Amino acid sequence: MARGAGVALALVILGGAGCGGLLSYKGAPPAPVQRGRVVIDVRDSREPKAGGNKHEEVGVHAGAFGIPDMLTVDGPTVVADTMRQLVAEAARAAGIGITDAPAGATARVLVDVQRLWCAGYGGYHAAVTASISVYDPSGQQIRVPGVPVSAEDGGLKCKRVFHHALTDFFRATQAMFANPNVAGALTQ
């Protein structure tokens, strides 16, 4: 039984580093005190030619012989799942509790992913942009209208560029949740 607890603890610690693979980020530990219970919904609303039609597409890179090749993740829900995990960890780091059950929730957060894309030739640029709104627990009454959160980075490899951009996005989201006006809307 002690070994099972150790494995579970290892998984929790690894979870702080974000999803593995192409879309990774450096998170932060949860705050010691968690206020409220927030449900997080994510909508992948990227433009059609930049992951909107095929949600597993996250960029274009130079393939064999310099021929452009589509950069993809393992499935069509990976972007939304990664953003949900990132926003949940940012909320916990800002002292906001998370729940999957709407019953007993203090608020609902809608993350509308508008851009998550890496492209270039030799040098790459990644941009991550989302609008984050806070609603009442039923999702009917808006408390905080869409706050644009974005981060960008450039470099020689999309994996590294995504890591830095998503880490900056994490920090910006954590700061947004720590704002007293937003935190109040999340915990009322």
Q: What is the pLDDT along the chain (188 residues), one digit of tens a residue?
A: 444 433 333 333 333 444 458 999 999 999 999 999 999 999 999 999 999 999 999 999 887 788 888 999 999 999 999 999 999 999 999 999 999 988 999 999 999 999 999 999 879 999 999 999 999 999 999 999 999 999 999 999 999 999 999 999 999 999 999 999 999 999 98
Sign of the dihedral defined by the CA atoms of residues 27, 28, 29, 30, in that order: negative
Output the pTM of the full model: 0.87
Return the pLDDT at 20: 53
Q: How far apart, in Å, are the Cα atoms of 101 and each of 40, 112, 119?
A: 10, 20, 38
Q: 20 CB contacts (<8 Å, ≥6 apart)?
A: none
Return the pLDDT at 74: 95
- Structural domain including 73 reads 2-187
Return the pLDDT at 16: 41
Count of domains in the chain? 1
Domain CATH number, residue 147: 3.40.50.10610
R_g (Cα) of the chain, nearest Å: 17
Asked if 4 and 12 count as a contact pair (C-beta separation under 8 A), the reply is no
Minimal CA–CA distance to 131: which of 116, 118, 153, 141? 116
